[in-house]
A = this chain, B = another copy of it.
């Protein structure tokens, strides 16, 4: 029998999908399930973005675009960097992609040589290491914890770097923890990579969803840094599959060659839609929703703490709380199953984010309204006997 490639043995499914399947069974049987496992805003795409797509479709804009995206969208993203961050990023360095996933695929297709090692934080977003593995790069985990706010430090990166290391990928805000890197922290990590002729990639897909301050962009720390962003989270365009990547000048041509061959172009309707994403009326809607996410976080974090689910990382951004559940259960995966079965609350076990003490942690997403969050807290309180 012909078989799959060897890499498949290293590519894990999402464990939470198993829980989700069970959640749907329970719902089909009439149970009420509160979904706190979902990494997706519960808001539909803002109306001005949808209207722009409808206009484009009705005027026949359904053909291929350039492989790196519509020039006017690349320019709009460049303008966004200037207006929001005060950073000059030329449109020529911006590639529009099939979501941040598409950006990471192109980045690792461009950079990852077989067997070369890349440093990634653990816990971290699991797809990143699986995308890397698919292009035959080797993910190497840097265990991160509360002592460094769940972000890798320059000292850790320096210590982990060896002759096989090709680069470093970090995320700010991070998933599953929501923690941020400051600009000096980003600059220090960049310097570690630069001194070793390594690549430095920064995942900024939760930018815009921060609640104490605006997150600084790594674009301000050097034009040799790869920066990945998305229209999914802040702009609430998940299903459209649109993102972008800022590419160091020397690699733009290689990424373009890859995009021509691997994807042809990003979705044309999504690109026309995204042209409306930066308009003042859209931003006004998005900022209201950001305030709503903040209200949810400010309600949920102390409520979980009171039950014994300790929020271990400063949840500065994204829409997740990463909790240490050791006080209420020995194994977070078993806890996630029990919470679903007994309390009707779906959450994501640490197992989906790596191998660094995953049994201690569980992630709650506040991608549902405060009323439902309050109901979830009440159910959790009863379940935990607090």
Contact = CB atoms under 8 A, between A and B. Distances in A.
Interface string A93-106: 00000110110010
Interface stretch (A84-92, A108-116, A296-304, A355-363): A108-116
Contacts of A251: 4
A63 B40 contact: yes
Contact of A6 (B113, B134, B224, B268): B113
B2 A130 contact: no
A335 to B, nearest CB: 23
A210 interface: no
Given A4-B111, A198-B2, A267-B240, A58 B63 contact: no
A155 interface: no
Contacts of A11: 254, 257-258, 261
Interface in A168-213: 197-199
Contacts of A379: none
B197 A8 contact: no
A127 B261 contact: yes
A1 B195 CA distance: 10
A44 B62 contact: yes
Interface in A236-294: 236-241, 250-251, 254, 256-258, 260-270
Nearest to A241: B267
A332 interface: no
Q: Could you say how many copies of this chain the assembly holds?
A: 2
A5 interface: yes
A261 B54 contact: no
Nearest to A108: B5
A113 B1 CA distance: 15
Contacts of A269: 53, 239-240, 267, 269-270
| A: interface residue count bin | 35 or more
A50 interface: yes
A239 B268 contact: yes
B261 A110 contact: no
Contacts of A167: 2
Contact of A240 (B2, B238, B268): B268
A101 B114 CA distance: 23
A261 B101 CA distance: 8
A229 interface: no
Nearest to A194: B2
Contacts of A258: 8, 11, 134
A11 B257 CA distance: 7
Nearest to A256: B13
Contacts of A58: 50, 54
A331 interface: no
- Which one of A5, A166, A197, A240 has the highest number of Cβ atoms from chain B below 10 Å of its Cβ? A5
Given A5-B110, A13-B257, A130-B261, 6 more contacts: A5-B111, A5-B113, A62-B236, A65-B239, A126-B261, A267-B269
Q: Which 9 A-B pairs have the closest CB atoms?
A: A239-B268, A44-B60, A130-B261, A45-B62, A127-B261, A5-B113, A4-B254, A62-B239, A13-B257
